[in-house]
């Protein structure tokens, strides 16, 4: 099974914040029809909370950081630290 760096970003945030979750793996080459009902773009990650859907890796990471604020991972008040956080996120796109 191939792992996708975008989904792994969200998995890392979930692990760092110790958020209980259920992972659903599926074939991303021949995506099941039900997945497009959850994410019309057909991309991972896709989070579902109480019937509410959120997708795209940076959006899911920011959402989790706001909803589960302890510990903050991406919301530094220091502009330099915030920039460093964003660089780290971008680097994960290049070096998965």
Structural domains of the chain, count = 1
pLDDT at residue 36, rounded to an integer: 86
Which CATH number covers residue 26?
3.40.30.10
pLDDT in tens, the chain (96 residues): 456 777 888 888 898 889 999 988 887 788 888 888 888 888 888 898 888 999 988 899 889 988 988 877 776 788 888 888 778 777 776 665
CA distance 55 to 10: 10
pLDDT at residue 94, rounded to an integer: 66
Q: Could you list the residue range(s) of the whole structural domain that residue 36 is in?
A: 5-94
pTM: 0.74
* Residue whose token pair is 């989790």: 64
pLDDT at residue 1, rounded to an integer: 46
Which residues does 42 contact at the CB level (< 8 Å), separation at least 6? 31, 35, 36
């Amino acid at each position: 099974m191939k792992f996708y760096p975008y989904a792994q970003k969200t998995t890392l945030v979930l692990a760092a914040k110790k958020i209980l979750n259920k992972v659903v793996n599926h074939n991303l080459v021949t995506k099941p029809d039900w997945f497009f009902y959850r994410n019309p773009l057909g991309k991972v990650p896709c989070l579902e909370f109480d019937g509410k859907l959120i997708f795209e890796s940076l959006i899911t990471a920011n959402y989790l950081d706001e909803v589960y604020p302890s510990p903050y991972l991406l919301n530094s008040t220091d502009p330099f630290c915030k920039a460093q956080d964003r660089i780290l996120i971008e680097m994960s796109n290049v070096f998965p």
